[in-house]
Structure 1
Amino acid sequence: MKVLLINPPHTAIGSRIPDDHLPPLGLLCIGGPLLDAGFNVELLDADLGNLPLAQIVDDTARRQPDVVMLGHSGSSSAHATVVTLCDALKQRLPQVITVYGGVHPTYHWDEILAGCPGIDVIVRGEGEQTAVDLMQALREQRDLRALRGVAFRATRPDGTAEVVDTPAAAMLRCLDDYRVGWELIDHARYTYWGGKRAVVVQFSRGCPYLCNYCGQRGFWTQWRHRDPVKLAREIARLHREHGVELINFADELPTGSRKLWRAFLEALIEENVPVLLVGSTRAGDIVRDADILHLYRRAGVIRFLLGIESYSESTLAHIRKGGSMHEDQQAIQLLRRHGILSMATYVVGFEEERDRDLWRSLRHLLRYDPDQIQLLYVTPHRWTPFYKTAAHRPVIQLDTRRWDYKHQVLATRHMPPWRLFLWFKSMELILQLRPRALYRLLLHPDPVQRQSMRWYSEMGRRVWLREVAEFIFTTKTMTNLQRRGPTLQEFLGPSLEDREYALSKAAPARRTIPLKAA
């Protein structure tokens, strides 16, 4: 059987503005095991060239796959595009089986299958083993009810339709058992950090912390890791055989275990390959590793993103961040001391925010003095505990393709959208144009860091101008929705918090949901 993996085009500004694009790791993680199981697998990365849907359908028809599998890292904001694409594929190729995986469909499986006839099967949770099991069952025409981790439409004996959700898939205990299908991509087409040949990898999956807004933590269910020496060897091979220069870690918390992370750093240093590493972690882990940060830099770490989130200790407690302001500032200082750039993400759009709160946020970030800043809007996911706390808030962005953390989604009680946007863009401008930032941008003594700052600033400038121009044409609609728009629960539905943990050790009973007649 022939499988076509499709990475759909993403409408987010962050995907469309930069010249650089990274390979779709999630689909490559599925592709490797499918290739090893003997299936004919190809990848169509429509996000790379922002292909129009008609061209994607034409390309798919030319390849004549038996099964199309779709997924996207920007899961919720890409969902509307996936639905439209699957409907178009089914009209052109009614015999093709469409399989949809990722974070969003894992939790919204019943609504998707009930309302989207173009999607046949949903893979829930980790897909490496489930995708192979599914393809083998399809090839052998076996009943999908015997599988774990899938949802699909079926016909009852009386002829009525139902949606079937099989027991949750078990967590993958050994991540090294499933290889990434690197041969599915042309490495020369994927770059990051200003044209450097780049890939995305995972050292670990999951996170033990309980941030109530996080849409990823429950998906992976439990923190697990790869063998640190094997990953270092894989990175070295990618550099030597494919010229990969930069590694972007997709982990929520690659540094979760000091012992394992140190083993990885030492193994990569031993490989002696000139690669740069970027990723995200918690400020607390940087403070914890103050005595081994020299190993970070020797291994190639050039930047870590730190989730600062808020200056308010009460807000940090409300969202269960589990950090502290002192720790955040200390982490930034430690990274700078060891020649590693810090990017601080900061979230605005909490319900009770006022002008004074945003003024304090700006002063707070200036005092922290991160090398780079990324402001985000708080964005709800139905399967997180945060959703229930925001269910009453008016939705002012009805296009879910813009639920990408760079567009305001929820109204704030004391501030119209235009004023929050003004604060948002002004804070970005002030932080990027402050004297210290300009010095690092223009005169930093380390040429690698200077190039990194310039690349990020140029990309940020283009995004900033695009966002301002876009907002001018939507501010009236958003203001009207703040007064008369639907609440979050009216717009999306009730909380799905009971589904937060997607993977399981046990096998719960299979669920079936009858479908209403059209």
Structure 2
Amino acid sequence: MRIVLVNVPHPAIGSRIPDDHLPPLGLLAVGGPLIDDRHAVRLVDGEFGPMQPGALVAQVMAFHPDAVLFGHSGSTSGHPVIADIASRLARARPDLAIVYGGVFPTYHWREILKDEPYVTAIVRGEGEETARRLMAALAAGTPFASVPGIAFRGGDGPHATQPAPVIRDLDAYRVGWELIDHARYSYWGGLRAVVVQFSRGCPHLCNYCGQRGFWTRWRHRDPVTFARELARLHREHGVQVINFADENPTVSKKAWRVFLETLIAEKVDLILVGSTRADDIVRDADILPLYKQAGWARFLLGLESTDEATLAKIRKGGATTTDREAIRLLREHGILSMATWVVGFEEETDRDYWRGLRQLLSYDPDQIQMLYVTPHRWTPYFGLAAGRRVIQTDRRRWDYKHQVLATRHMAPWRVLLWFKLIEVAVQARPRALARVLFHRDAGLRHAMRWYTRMGRRVWPYEIANFLRDPLVGNGPTVAEFWGAPQDDEEESMSATRAERRVGTALPRADAA
């Protein structure tokens, strides 16, 4: 079959503001196995430009595809864009098979199949093996009901087949790196870059996380094979920056140490960036020199809040003392720390923001990433937020960088004021500016200056968006806006509790 993988231009600030673009790992991960199955596969990346809808559709159609797959960009805020492009493709070629995968469609398959007739099928959960089986069924004309891990439209409405098995061997499917021109993709201020995954999932129980249940359980690649693949990308394609997409790559200290030691032995000059938990950094204090020697330059630490009561409510499982110690240890070993801090919890007041700012300053992170709390219907946190009022009904804005929920004691403009004040206070304090200007490590100095330049562009952009985008004064509740909670289906590759009770996870018909 002739297959086009489409990465639509995402509306999120992180896609539109930077000059750098990273390759869509999810689509490449599906593309590799499809190429190995002897399909003719092409990637169309609409992020560059960004491409206008008409031009994107024309480029897809120029390949004369039998099927078009939307994957990695299947997020909440990206869905309206995908829906627009998919409908245009269907009008141009009514016989075209349109397949949609990713986190958002995995859980919202009922609504999508009901409201968007141009979608042929939805891949639920991991896509490598499921996409292979679905394309084989399309090519042979066999019934979709025989393909695990998908949803499709039957004669009596949307159906979901039994969950696909969790991929136990992540090395069994290769990433289709040949689908991209590596020279087009960069990060860290123009350095050639890729996105990779050492592991999938997370063993922790943070109740707001939209990713943990998607992967069902934590697994990792063979650390030696993985390290050698990164070295090959550097030697053969000139890749300089490796951006880890893992939620928590450092869960297994034993496997992680083997990866670090193997990469060090490869003697490649790589810059590694990614996310992990503060308690893993504290646990690994004795091997942090290996982190640095392997090339780690920055870790994003999901602190979420500096309030212990809030951390308990969202089941973060961390502690403020651990967060502070992790930042200290990273600095001691020459690794930058980026602290994420989430605002917009229902009961927050001016006093909470002031206390949080003082706590963040005491942590002394190198960088900060401010986010707004954003509930997902398939997470346990959704139930806690179901009665809150929605103030942003444009789903393209549900990207963590726009206020979407009303707070009880704070008007939206006041939340924004604190949001921007905290950013400035943390990033522009004398100690932080001194690091940006005079850090003794030239590489880290470059990284901090690049991030500061991005911040100067994002800061006014977010304010302009707030002033331009109308907010709803008395909007629907979260439950009215998104529907009933779905936490029973949080683990995308497991049977629901109801199905386990009756001893089956077989095809079911669910009204949307």
Please classify the TM superposition score into its range, dividing by the shorter chain length: over 0.9
Residue 260 of structure 1, CA deviation: 0.3
Aligned partner of 2:361 in structure 1 is 366
Residue 72 of structure 1, CA deviation: 3.1
Mapped to 2, the partners of 1:514 and 1:239 lie a distance apart of 49
Residue 149 of structure 1, CA deviation: 0.3
Match of residue 495, structure 1, among 453, 478, 485: 485
Structure 1 gaps, min length 5: 156-160
Mapped to 2, the partners of 1:473 and 1:200 lie a distance apart of 33
Mapped to 1, the partners of 2:462 and 2:432 lie a distance apart of 22
Aligned partner of 1:265 in structure 2 is 260
Name the Cα RMSD after superposition. Answer: 1.1
Mapped to 2, the partners of 1:74 and 1:270 lie a distance apart of 37
Q: Is the 8 A contact 1:8 1:72 kept in 2?
A: no
Mapped to 2, the partners of 1:253 and 1:73 lie a distance apart of 21
Aligned partner of 2:194 in structure 1 is 199
2:133 is aligned with 1:136:
no
Aligned partner of 2:388 in structure 1 is 393
Moved over 4 A (4+): none
Match of residue 291, structure 2, among 282, 285, 296: 296
1:398-444 deviations in whole A, cap 9, x for unaligned? 11111110100100000000000000011101111101110000011
Aligned partner of 1:510 in structure 2 is 507
Q: Is the 8 A contact 2:110 2:511 kept in 1?
A: no
- The equivalences for 1:439-454 within 5 A come to 439-454=434-449
Match of residue 300, structure 2, among 305, 309, 316: 305
Residue 86 of structure 1, CA deviation: 0.8
Aligned partner of 1:34 in structure 2 is 34
Mapped to 2, the partners of 1:86 and 1:470 lie a distance apart of 27
Structure 2 gaps, min length 5: none
Q: Letter of the aligned partner of 1:153 in structure 2?
A: R
Q: Letter of the aligned partner of 1:433 in structure 2?
A: A
Mapped to 1, the partners of 2:363 and 2:60 lie a distance apart of 50
Mapped to 1, the partners of 2:120 and 2:142 lie a distance apart of 15
Mapped to 1, the partners of 2:14 and 2:145 lie a distance apart of 39
Mapped to 1, the partners of 2:217 and 2:49 lie a distance apart of 35
- The equivalences for 1:237-252 within 5 A come to 237-252=232-247
- The equivalences for 1:1-400 within 5 A come to 1-73=1-73, 75-155=75-155, 161-400=156-395
1:98-153 deviations in whole A, cap 9, x for unaligned? 00000000011111101111211000000000000011111111111011001111
Q: Is the 8 A contact 1:164 1:513 kept in 2?
A: yes
Residue 513 of structure 1, CA deviation: 3.5
- The equivalences for 1:464-483 within 5 A come to 464-474=459-469, 477-478=470-471, 481-482=472-473
% identical aligned pairs: 61
Residue 62 of structure 1, CA deviation: 1.3
Aligned partner of 2:398 in structure 1 is 403
Residue 174 of structure 1, CA deviation: 0.2
Mapped to 2, the partners of 1:306 and 1:266 lie a distance apart of 23
Q: Is the 8 A contact 2:100 2:119 kept in 1?
A: yes
Residue 73 of structure 1, CA deviation: 4.1
Between 41-50 and 190-199, the greater mean CA deviation after superposition: 41-50
Mapped to 1, the partners of 2:171 and 2:506 lie a distance apart of 30
Q: Is the 8 A contact 2:339 2:368 kept in 1?
A: yes
Q: Letter of the aligned partner of 1:497 in structure 2?
A: D
Mapped to 2, the partners of 1:391 and 1:221 lie a distance apart of 24
TM-score by length of 2: 0.97
Question: Partner of 2:168: helix, strand, or coil?
Answer: coil
